[in-house]
Structures are given as C-alpha cells and as structure tokens.
Structure 1
Amino acid sequence: ALPVDDPDAEWLLPGGPGGAGDPAAVRRGIGYAVGMVHMLGAEGEDEVSTATVRVSGDHATVICAAVDAGQGFATLARQIVQTVLGVSEVYIAPADSDQSIAGPSARGRHTWVSGGAVERAALMVRHQLLQPIAANFGMSAELLQIADGKITSYDGVLGMPVAEALEGKELWATAQCRPHPTEPLDEAGQGDAFVSISFCAMRAVVDVDIELGAVRVVEMTVAQDVGRALNPRQIEDRIEAGVAQGVGLALLEDLRTEGGVLQNPSLTGYRLPTALDTPEVRIATLLEERDVVAPFGAKAVGAVPAVVAPAAVAAAVRAATGLPV
C-alpha cells in the first residue's frame, strides 16, 4: 500500500513551503533496491577486540576500549552480561587509552568483535561461578543454567538466586575475540574474503517536481537480514538512522574538494538531512537468519540501509520522471 498523505498540502511539496513549485508538476515514483555490506574487515585485514568482565556482589562491570558513538554497543554489552550471568546491574566503564585496542566503530564491528569479547569474558566468569556449585552437587557445570536471576540444575534439584551465589565473591576474566581470518580474492574473484555479509531490500516512494527537479522522499520500506534481533527497538532505530543517512547521500550531501582541500567545511555548505527531510520509515520485516559464528547470531544493521537507500531513491526518481537519473 502507498502512504496516505495530501500531495496538495504546501508543506508536503518537493522543496517545502518556501518553494516555487506547482502541485500540477509533481509526479510520484516508486523504486526498489537490494544490496549487501560485508561485516568486519575483509581480504586479510586482522580484526580483534579485548574485554574484561568483573563481577562483585550483585553487579558487574564491563571494561572495553570500544567507543559507543551512538551505535548501541553499551546497551548490547549490558544485555550480553545480563543474559550470560543473570545479574541485573551492569556498568560499562569509560573507554581508556590504557585498555587493549578494540578498533574503530565501523561496519558494525563492535556488535560482533567487541560483543564477542564481552560474551567470552562473561562465559569465563560464569564457569568460575558455576564450577564450585556443580562440584558440591557432584555434577558438571554444563548441567547448570542461569535464567530469570536463578541458577538451576537440569533435574530441578538446585534452585539458587544468582545474587546469593555471588555474595561475597569477586570474579573477573579477560577475553579476546578474533574472527576467522580472511584472504584476498584471487584473479577469478574467488576466495574467503569476508567474515560475513548483511543484506537489505528497500522500496522508496518519492514525489518529484518535474519542472524544478526538487525531490521529496515520502516513505521508505525496509526488509533486512539482522542475523538475530537482540534488541528489536534499537535495531529499528539504527535502520531509521541508516535510511536518513542514505537519503542525505542521495539528495543533500555534496562533499567538494579542490586540490585536496575541502571547499564546504561547514553544515551550511555541507547539508545533512533534518527531521523534516527524513521520510517515514516502515520496517516490513527483520529477517533472522542467525550467523553461526557471530555472538548470539546477531549481525550489525546500521551500514547496509545507508548503502541501499540512495539506490532505491534513484530508482524512484527514474520511475517518476522517466529519465535515466
């Protein structure tokens, strides 16, 4: 179904209420695009991150040099520790230059590499916690599970609150995550060049003033492969952000250089989309095809919609104008 709006409303015209457009010159177009983005480094680039998980009493601390620049790593790290250890209070320590390197915040690295390091460290702490409890009951730690804040045994004999098991204890572990190595493609374009790939399909609905060339993106509909949706609300926010970035790349942003010198080094000359430029974003489906080697099967989500959105907008503009844009 197409979005319901009033194409005669002045503020909805391409170019906005200050434009000189004629509503009779506005044409609506629909375009589609599919695309993919590789996760982590490629073709031999090394990827590694280190994290420490420390548990004291009823709370835990995560120490990792991964910088959360808005991609949601802090939330994900808390969820991982809460899931693995059953503690509710998880503190994410500030990133520090004394900590082991975690690499840049790009291509969703921290979801995978830093999240993987946090998971491995948390699992090591979990083993430290469960091993002596299991030994007291004459069983292996693998027969115990942590859920809903309780440690329980497979046979139901044991049911102990995690807080009680941690009382008076201080446990910690440090772990690295280094995904399997990749290699450059050969001359035929073959080889194990990528750790993993994320996919996205998108439909764009645009209104184009065919006399002025002004474009308004009305709606973007997204179907995306997310591996596993660890935090569906956060994933939807990240997809919306990626779409907004893609719309900016398609219609507004124009990085100009001359002799290697940036010519528009301000937000006056380099225009970013605002809330009024960002269309309605509909999430048609989050496809959960778990990646077997990613932490909890999750893939990063922010990059691929930013790549696919410009192509979908261009296809919609072609449909509206009939021109080979």
Structure 2
Amino acid sequence: MSDSNITEFTNPSTFILLGIPGLERAHVWISIPFCTIYAIAILGNFTILFIVITELSLHGPMYYFLCMLAISDLVLCRSTLPKMLSIFWFNSGEINFSACLTQMYFIHCFTVMESGIFVAMAVDRYVSICDPLRHSTILTNPAVAKIGVAVVLRSGMVVLPYPFLVRQWPYCRTNIIPQPYCVHIAMVTLACADTRVSSYYGLFVIFFVMGLDGFFIAVSYTQILRAIFSLPTKDARLKTFGTCGSHLFVILAFYIPSLFISLLYRFAQNVPLHFHVLIANVYHLLPPMLHPIIYGVRTREIRGRLLRLFTHKGA
C-alpha cells in the first residue's frame, strides 16, 4: 500500500456507518420495529421517572436506583437510535470522527453504569430480604447517594481509556464501520496497528468489571434465595420472591446476552456479519424498552400509581 493511501485514514475526519450490512434493501422495514422500540422506551422510562418523582411514597432506595436505570436507558437510546434511524431512512451514514468517539464512549459508559446499578439493586434486595429490620438504617438517603455517585464515577473512569486508545491508532485500511453506531471493538478492527492493548482492555472491562458485578449479584441472590426458601410457608416464599423476581429477570436478560455477544463477536468468525449486527442491536435496544414494562407490571406500587394516574385522567 502506498504512503499516500496509508496517511489518508491515519486520522480520518469522518467514518461511514453502514447500518446492517447485507440488509440495506430492508433498512426501511427494519426501522419500523426499531422506531417502535425507541418510542416505547422513551415513553416508558419517562413515565417511570415521573411516577417516582411525583409519588412521595416511592422515595426509597429501590426506586432511586430504578430512576438511575431509567436515565441510563434514556441516554443509551438517545446515543444510538437517532443516528441509526437516519441511516435507515436517509442513508445518512457519515459521522464525524470525534462524534464517533463520543458515541462510543456514551454507549460503553452507560452499559457499564447499568451493570453497576444492577449491583446496587441486588444489594438493596439483599438487605431488604435478609436484614429487613436494618434496611432503613443501612440504606439511608446519603448512603444511596454515595452508591449512585460511585456507580457513575466508576463507569466514567473505566470506559475513559476507550476513546484515547482508539484515537491513537492509524486507520490505513478503511473508514467504513459495518455497524449502525460506533462501538469499541468495531473501531479497533479497522486499525492497521497492533491493537492488542485495546482488545485486552476490552476483555478486562467485560470479565473483571462487569464479570465481577455479575459475581457480586450472584452471591447476593444466592443469599436471597436461601432466605426465601427458609421461610415457613409457601405463600410467604412466593410473596417475598415476587419482590425480587423482576430484578432477577432483568439482570439475567442483561448479563447473559452481553457475554454471548462479546464472545460471538471475537471468536465466531464464521457467523454472518448481519447476524452479529442484528443480535447486538437487539441487545442494546430491547432492555430500555423492557425495563419500564417489567417494573411497571410487576412492581405493585408503580402499577397502582399508574392506574390511579390513568383513572384520574379518564374521570
């Protein structure tokens, strides 16, 4: 390759996002469920925030963490969907290099943040079920605020090396990203240098940050399940399990696909590219839509406040 071609993409001013490679003709049709998911996610998470903020009885640790999760979901949707829909509808795949790095940072930062929020939720459920008499003295408002700040700072610091590592690589092959948004591993694969540092750091974040979160959650829920099964009656066990069932379902839906996608992208090279991209999109887009639905349906206090809200408007 000539020197002129090598320098052309060394610090590209723009990248080109392809959307879903191989399914370009179906982009308009694919945009319909994606747009629907976006609308439901925005409406659902804003509804959760409105209900918790306006209902004083919901001003407690579990609902504060739920608000953090809703805000994180809103940022994730806002970071990915608008650009994705512009690609599907207008074939507007060009994105500024700095904007691409910013999008990548926000996607990974708030994904790690959600992992931290799930740990905080698991701690709240553990104290609530295993030590209910001390719940109000352990998880005070200042303690919850400190946990929230720690979750935000940790995610911001852990993901901060991503854009700096990506910016230093030369891009002498192409500036085309076969994705509808910028993610770390997709940009690293475009570089024409030894990017093992970026790859190893990405694996570190997956296994030693989010993986450690998953371990703490597993330990918490092991203790929670032991406490539940030690209850004397079946009704008491079912009632107690109902208070953490939605959390457990959401947590499993977050960690299992995340691990599967990361391993699939790195090691399953024979899988068609459009399958990689579709699975990754579903993973990033479905949770922000499902979280408010799950918590709205399964959390009695939120469900009751929502019913009163609609009943009052209809009266």
TM-score, with structure 2 as normaliser? 0.25
TM-score, with structure 1 as normaliser? 0.24
Higher-helix-fraction structure: 2
Higher-strand-fraction structure: 1
